[in-house]
């Protein structure tokens, strides 16, 4: 397949949508709880991004595979059980391999279960599409979520701790902005991030 | 008794679940449009959060721990939450048609609201006793409602003046308001400890 044609395939459009145009964080404003809480350090953001991407892809595969079998009335609870299974896997791996990060993330790993991105993509995409496109969509949305988190985490970690990935970067005489590590800093940076990215991606603002 | 009151007040002011732990943000941003919707959502959240925490506590300590199956905690908890919400929906539909008009649309949304699961998990992580659980879950839900009502009230006033940058409307401005309010809630820090 040549490159020009690739632009019009469904897989490519799905990829671009999840990554930029319909980015879960700044365009659809989903999964905000975890992104606000976990973006205080880059390593936490990396771990969370990887975890969410993993759960998105694999729960997507399962739900897409079972989409003709799941009865409509109980579909939400079926999604949640599928998602919970993968979240348990993520948590066990984190605890075994990266105990420090697992401790810093605390209950927020378990709260991937109620992360609206995963539920939203299952309901809006995985039940209607085949496995291949679901994987592409899960991957794109996961990446879109991860890079948003990492950008915000980079700013917050430098301002709040004077470090980047735990390496000291602040100039001498730097005073840490403690508030950036706490909730208000998260809110302010997030609103600025949404403002900038929505302007760049030309996203329609929500109706008031 | 003293400790229970401290837990209750701390979960509203010093450790507000929305403004300190940043939980329950999705409905916080989409439903804080006006005071009436946020109150409707608020009442449903108080009922569901308190009820599920009260059910999940005995389930964890009397079923999951004796059976050594704490690995299934999350799955069991969300089944309990989804079941409770479904049951509540049916009861309200059948016996309280007046409430149905107010809460009907919000109840299904609550299943995927992170504060419900978060409160049940915090209770387990902090080893609360049953009574403490009741006070903590009720207080957390009330704290969330306090936060969303304040934000909704400010947004209602702000919509009248309406001089907000175009791309900042909606989610952006809600977060600025929430940020300012959470900054003011930092003033409570140190008054009470959980």
Whether the CB of B180 is below 8 Å from some CB of chain A: the reply is yes
> Which residues does A48 contact at the CB level (< 8 Å), separation at least 6?
A34, A35, A38, A105, A108, A109, A146, A149
pLDDT tens figures, B25-38: 877 777 767 777 78
Nearest-angstrom CA–CA distance, B156 and B33 = 7
The yes-or-no verdict on residue A206 having pLDDT over 60 is: no
- Pick from A6-10, A80-84, B112-116: least confident: A6-10
Are A81 and B78 a contacting pair at CB < 8 A? yes
pLDDT tens figures, B57-110: 999 999 988 888 888 888 999 889 888 888 888 888 888 777 777 666 677 777
**pLDDT score, position A5:** 67
- What was the ipTM of the complex prediction? 0.85
pLDDT tens figures, B139-159: 999 999 998 888 888 888 888
Question: pLDDT tier at A208 (50, 70, 90 boundaries)?
Answer: very low
Nearest to A119 by CA among B26, B81, B50: B26
The yes-or-no verdict on residue B137 having pLDDT over 70 is: yes
Whether the CB of B190 is below 8 Å from some CB of chain A: the reply is no
Whether the CB of B154 is below 8 Å from some CB of chain A: the reply is no
**Interface contacts A/B by beta carbons within 8 Å:** 134
pLDDT tens figures, A14-25: 888 878 877 888
The per-residue DSSP string of B91-139 comes to: HHHHH-HHHHHHHTTTHHHHTT-HHHHHHHHHHHHTT--HHHHHHHHHH
- Pick from B62-71, B108-117, B174-183: least confident: B108-117
Are A191 and B117 a contacting pair at CB < 8 A? no
Whether the CB of B22 is below 8 Å from some CB of chain A: the reply is yes
Nearest residue of B to residue A183 by CA position? B20
The yes-or-no verdict on residue B138 having pLDDT over 90 is: yes
Mutate: best of B14, B26, B109, partner A, most A CBs <10 A: B26
Higher pLDDT, A173 or A207: A173
Task: Work out the average pLDDT over A62-68.
Answer: 88
> Which residues does B68 contact at the CB level (< 8 Å), separation at least 6?
none
**pLDDT score, position B104:** 66
B-chain residues near A36 (CB < 8 A): 22, 25
**pLDDT score, position A6:** 66
Are A110 and B78 a contacting pair at CB < 8 A? no
Domain segments of chain A as ranges: 22-201
Are A183 and B182 a contacting pair at CB < 8 A? yes
B-chain residues near A78 (CB < 8 A): none
Are A30 and B122 a contacting pair at CB < 8 A? no
Mutate: best of A115, A148, A191, A207, partner B, most B CBs <10 A: A191
């Amino acid at each position: 397949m040549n490159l020009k044609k690739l632009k019009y395939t469904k897989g490519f459009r799905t990829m671009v949508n999840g990554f930029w145009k319909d980015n879960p964080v700044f365009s659809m404003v989903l999964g905000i709880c975890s992104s606000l809480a976990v973006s205080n350090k880059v390593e936490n953001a990396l771990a969370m991004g990887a975890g969410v991407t993993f759960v998105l892809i694999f729960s997507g595969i399962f739900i897409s595979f079972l989409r003709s079998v799941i009865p409509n009335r109980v579909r939400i609870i079926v999604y949640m059980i599928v998602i919970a299974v993968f979240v348990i896997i993520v948590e066990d791996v984190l605890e075994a391999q990266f105990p420090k990060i697992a401790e810093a993330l605390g209950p927020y790993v378990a709260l991937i279960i109620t992360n609206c991105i995963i539920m939203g993509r299952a309901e809006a995409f995985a039940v209607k599409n085949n496995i291949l496109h679901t994987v592409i969509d899960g991957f794109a949305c996961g990446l879109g979520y991860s890079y948003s988190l990492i950008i915000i985490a980079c700013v917050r970690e430098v301002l709040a701790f004077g470090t980047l990935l735990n390496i000291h970067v602040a100039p001498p005489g730097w005073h840490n902005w403690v508030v950036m590590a706490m909730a208000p800093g998260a809110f302010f940076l997030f609103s600025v991030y949404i403002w900038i990215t929505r302007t760049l991606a030309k996203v329609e603002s929500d109706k008031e | 008794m003293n400790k229970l009151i401290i837990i209750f007040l701390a979960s509203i002011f010093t450790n507000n679940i929305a403004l300190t732990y940043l939980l329950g943000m999705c409905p916080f941003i989409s439903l804080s449009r006006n005071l009436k919707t946020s109150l409707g959502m608020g009442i449903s959240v108080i009922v569901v959060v308190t009820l599920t925490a009260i059910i999940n506590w005995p389930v964890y300590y009397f079923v999951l721990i004796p059976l050594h199956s704490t690995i299934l905690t999350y799955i069991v908890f969300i089944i309990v939450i989804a079941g409770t919400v479904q049951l509540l929906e049916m009861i309200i539909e059948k016996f309280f048609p007046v409430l149905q008009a107010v809460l009907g649309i919000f109840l299904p949304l609550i299943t995927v609201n992170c504060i419900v699961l978060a409160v049940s998990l915090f209770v387990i992580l902090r080893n609360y006793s049953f009574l403490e659980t009741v006070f903590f879950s009720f207080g957390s839900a009330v704290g969330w409602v306090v936060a969303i009502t304040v934000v909704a009230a400010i947004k209602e006033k702000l919509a009248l003046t309406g001089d907000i940058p175009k791309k900042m409307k909606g989610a952006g401005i809600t977060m600025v308001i929430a940020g300012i309010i959470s900054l003011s809630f930092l003033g409570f820090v140190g008054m009470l400890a959980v």
